[in-house]
Amino acid sequence: MEEKIGKILLCREEIQKRVAELGEEITRDYKGKNLLVVAILKGAVPFMADLIREIKTPLKYDFMAVSSYGASTHSSGVVRIMKDLERSVEDVHILIVEDIIDTGLTLKYLKENLVARNPLSIKVATLLDKPDRRKADVVPEYNGFTIPDEFVVGYGLDFDEQYRNLPYVGILKPEAYLSEG
């Protein structure tokens, strides 16, 4: 698996340090507030698991899964909810946790969908932001790292469902796209 990684973009320690900083910031901003962390399956799972342990104020968490129609490496903006939240959100402040924002179309859809449910507030925490290909006007309140327009894997991010378990974020060698296995 690791021999398919051409370059490590963010190592384990860098990620850990940044996640701790984000956790501190979120702790400050949500002290005394009813916080619901909503992680978007599956990519956000490692980030969310590390982030919540750096948030030192009470919270609940839940998950949503969405699937976008179209090619696997590109988002079409047409989104279907595959798994929804368990409860109403009218009395909570929602923090959406995402792995990466690329075109922003997925997040735009999600935010609109959640706004319609009347939560107290909605903000977004993303591990990675790839602003070069942005199509929808969404800006994360909490961003781990801004990265160039490269297809990255690891720390939750997949190529064909693989590589999610890498503890770092890296760029695949082209041969990993061209041949399977």
Kindly tell me which of 118 and 139 has the beta carbon lying closer to Mg ion.
139
**Are residues 135 and 118 in contact, defined by beta-carbon separation less than 8 angstroms?**
no
Residues 15-44: x where in contact with ligand 5GP by CB under 6 A, - otherwise, as a string: ----------------------------x-
Residue spans of beta strands (DSSP E) within 105-141: 121-129
Distances (CA, A) of 3 to 7, 10, 166: 10, 16, 12
Taken in order 116, 122, 124, 125, the sign of the CA dihedral is negative
Per DSSP, what are the bridge partners of residue 39? 63, 97
Residue 170 CB, shortest distance to Mg ion, in Å, is 15
Cα–Cα dist 12/133, whole Å: 26
Residues 70-109: x where in contact with ligand 5GP by CB under 6 A, - otherwise, as a string: -----x----------------------xxxxxxxxxx--
Structure tokens at 150: 């490269």
43 belongs to the binding site for Mg ion (CB under 5 A): yes
From 50, 84, 99, 102, active-site residue: 102
Residue 107 CB, shortest distance to Mg ion, in Å, is 8
62 belongs to the binding site for Mg ion (CB under 5 A): no
154 belongs to the binding site for Mg ion (CB under 5 A): no
Task: For residue 28, give every residue at least 6 positions away whose Cβ sits within 8 Å of its Cβ, in sequence order, or none.
Answer: none
Q: Which residues bind Mg ion (CB under 5 A)?
A: 40, 43, 98-99, 158
Q: Which positions are catalytic?
A: 102
Q: Which residues bind ligand 5GP (CB under 6 A)?
A: 43, 75, 98-107, 130, 151-153, 157-159
